[in-house]
A and B are shown apart, each in its own frame.
Chain A
Amino acid sequence: MSFSQKNSRAISALLCVAMLSLFLSGCSGERVGGGALPGGGNAGDSGGAIRLQGAGATFPNPLYQKWLSEYGKLNPNVRIDYQSIGSGGGIKQIQAQTVDFGASDAPMTDDEIRKSPGELLHVPTVLGAVVLTYNLQGVEQPLKFSPEVIADIFLGKIKRWDDARIKADNAGASLPAADITVVHRSDGSGTTAVFTDYLSKVSPEWKEKVGADKSPQWPTGQGGKGNEGVTGQIKQQPNTIGYVELAYAVQNRLPVAHIKNSAGNFVEPSIDAVTAAAAATTSSLPEDLRTSITNPTGADAYPIASYTYILAYKEQKDAAKGKALVDFLWWGIHDGERFAKDLQYAPLPADVVKRAEAKINSITSGGKTLRAAQ
């Protein structure tokens, strides 16, 4: 028997083994974390690891990953995974109950809430902001924009950089006599939802023609995929303007525009200005905490900001997992907030933390409050 024959025998035997094991693993592939202990009211203390799955918004993902690793160090018997698949995906997954918590930048719509199998709570975690960035040679000072000017640029009505209305806000800036190229997100995105929500509030024409959405029909401009795509297209093309997340702009040292808020002040986007926007709106915060805080009233408030939420069912099916989730959320909005600023997220104002606490406290399993059961 020659060597090659032996060889091919071994190979075909290997192949068969591989195929067999594929079949077997396909059958026995058991859902991780699916079968938790039945009726274990205090199973969380019994030493068996509890696994929680979360999925949703990409925007808070860096912070949530930080939370998971920090929380994991404190509570080694709880393992939490978060997949940043996008807000829409997070809502779909929590509705389908394939995850223990979802996450979304924009609050769920009434329609989405109606289609959910149980009552979902919105727990705000941090705040983010959307900034305007641009590529203009020879402009050193940050540009200033009034709300109506932004809306008209993105509507395609203001077409030139040396338009009188842009000049009016930027006396002394050497604006080029060139066409404006608008760059927007092409992928469905919470960032876009916040930005178009703002434009809908400040411009009736925008509201009527375009509206607020994760992927609206843009009247003008070109689309870039993700913050990095928009940034790339702006950096590579002169005379462009677009919007990205505050955190992304800060990390990449992009030029950002100051925007006139409803009090008439031009505000530089910053973490404090975003928290100020949230603080200015706490009195009008609805009971379910689903709110838009764009174009708020505060004198120092940056006008294009939003909460990001974790979504969880009010009635938890599994007491042990529910308890772990409640403890994690509680830790997040208290201890977790101190990681926010380093990662360029605005922490919640104290009033909002109180409101979020109430939400977490209302989570139950089998009629028993989980938080108080500690």
Chain B
Amino acid sequence: MIRIDSSIHLFIESTNQCFNESILMKPSPVTPNPATAYGASARRWNWRRALAPTGNAGDAIFRGLLFLAALLLLVIVGAMVGSMASNSALSLKRFGFGFLTGQTWNPVRDEFGALPFIYGTVMSSLIALFIAVPLSLGVAIFLVEQAPRRLARPIAFLVELLAAIPSVVYGLWGIFVLAPVLREYVEPPLARWLGWLPLFQGTVTGIGLLTGGVILAIMITPIITAVVRDVLTAVPVSQREAALALGATKWETTRVVLANAASGIAGAIILGLGRAIGETMAVTMVIGNRPKISASLFEPSYTIASVIANEFTEATDDLYLSALVEIGLILFLVTFIVNGIAKLLVWSVTRGTSGTARAT
């Protein structure tokens, strides 16, 4: 997490050596040439120096391979956007920008609008963050700052185990356990105490936007927790010692640590948000799959990923298929925009502080 540049550098050097020896079957005469493209100024990639012969064929080949790998990533992203745009041409032409604001999704009459799905995706992700962020921060802080090692290890292990459960299992568990629990014990009190808010009105069924958000929260908690834990661990012990030496309490020390880890924590949250937006199976099983925007969190909703998973296999009509591809393109854009906003937030948070721990 920290000192990424220097560790990469080390890695490259050691890999170069092995690469030379094994591929070219000749022993490396001296230590690898230190004048790599990273050279003296570690941060600036120098094209000319990168491609200039270093007198070491292995270096050139290895660098070429790495460059190809990086290029391939760009090509893949470009190709995805390109092919999605061309496959959704029919729908793009037919609906134009109206697709983004349309609220009808009716394959029988060939009317398609994406707004209910965008709303469902964004809302369910927000609910998930609302629940998961405080929870994960709490768990991570406890694990790093408070818990005795004997307790921290098994809890950390369990958190990682949660991350490994397939999402369809979460979905089934959501239907059979979470939805009834929410229906019986959580939603009725919400309706009673907060029913004056439009968010908590309507029939309580256990299947709907709230349940979708809660299951997402459970799914992203382990990811956020694991990353935040790493980030907190990376904050130098000297910071804590300094705070304690100045007479800070445990809570005040934790605040110092958190301030130093702010950008890393924000990165962890972005990571969780990314997963929440794209999550398909578990949400599909509990959200109710109804393309309608309603103020209440108890009402069924629909997400972009769910509608694609649900309807893609049986969409035979050209315009229908095209509309589904376009909604996939919108998911791409939504992810892009949300990530952009999150990056801006990180930037605005960390502008003033000179953090030592970096996660993203």
Residues of chain A having any CB pair with chain B under 8 Å: 5, 8-13, 16, 85-89, 91-92, 112, 179, 181, 186-189, 210-218, 221-225, 229, 232-233, 236-237
Contact = CB atoms under 8 A, between A and B. Distances in A.
A89 B313 contact: yes
Contacts of B206: 236-237
Interface string B149-180: 00000000000000000000000100110011
Given A217-B107, A236-B179, A188 B313 contact: yes
Contact of B176 (A218, A225, A236): A236
A5 B314 CA distance: 54
B207 interface: yes
B214 to A, nearest CB: 15
B23 A16 contact: yes
Contacts of B311: 187-188, 215
A222 B315 CA distance: 20
Contact of A225 (B15, B21, B109, B284): B284
A56 to B, nearest CB: 11
B314 A215 contact: yes
Given A8-B18, A91-B316, A213-B107, A222 B300 contact: yes
25 contacts: A9-B22, A10-B22, A16-B23, A85-B313, A88-B315, A88-B316, A179-B203, A181-B205, A186-B306, A188-B310, A188-B311, A214-B314, A215-B310, A215-B315, A217-B105, A217-B107, A218-B290, A222-B289, A222-B290, A223-B290, A224-B289, A225-B289, A229-B285, A232-B175, A233-B179
A212 B315 CA distance: 14
A16 B314 contact: no
B180 A222 contact: no
Interface in B168-198: 172, 175-176, 179-180, 183
A88 B107 contact: no
Interface string B283-318: 011001111000000001010001001110111100
Given A12-B15, A13-B22, A236-B206, A186 B314 contact: no
A217 B23 CA distance: 61
A186 B108 contact: no
B357 to A, nearest CB: 29
A12 B22 contact: yes
Contact of B310 (A9, A12, A87, A223): A223
Nearest to A210: B108
Given A112-B316, A222-B207, 9 more contacts: A11-B18, A12-B23, A16-B22, A86-B313, A88-B314, A89-B313, A215-B315, A229-B175, A237-B205
Contact of A186 (B107, B175, B284): B284
B19 interface: yes
A225 B285 CA distance: 6
Contacts of A8: 14, 18
Contact of A189 (B22, B203, B306, B314): B314
Nearest to A225: B284
Contacts of B22: 9-10, 12-13, 16
A114 B68 CA distance: 45
Contacts of A223: 288-290, 300, 302, 310
B285 A188 contact: no
Contacts of B107: 213-217
Contacts of A11: 18
Q: Place the interface of chain B in its size category.
A: 35 or more
Given A217-B105, A222-B205, A188 B315 contact: yes
Contact of B21 (A9, A86, A222, A237): A9
A221 B300 CA distance: 8
Interface in B243-270: none
Contact of B19 (A12, A112, A186, A187): A12
B108 A232 contact: no
Nearest first, the 4 closest Cβ-Cβ pairs linking A and B are: A188-B314, A223-B289, A186-B289, A222-B288
A187 B291 CA distance: 13
B46 interface: no
A237 B183 contact: yes
Interface string B199-214: 0000101111000000
B7 interface: no
A224 B314 contact: no
B175 A236 contact: yes
A267 B138 CA distance: 59
A103 to B, nearest CB: 13
Contacts of A212: 108
A13 B22 CA distance: 6
Nearest to A186: B289
Contacts of B289: 186, 222-225
B106 interface: yes
Contacts of A189: 314
Contacts of B350: none
Contacts of A179: 203
Nearest to A95: B316
| Residue from A10, A213, A225, A229 whose CB has the most chain B CB atoms within 10 Å | A225
A33 B230 CA distance: 51
B55 to A, nearest CB: 21
B176 A211 contact: no
B339 interface: no
B104 interface: yes
Contact of B106 (A91, A216, A237): A216
Contacts of A229: 175, 284-285
Contacts of A218: 290
A112 B314 CA distance: 13
Contacts of B21: 9
A85 B315 CA distance: 12
A179 B202 CA distance: 12
Given A8-B14, A12-B18, A221 B290 contact: yes
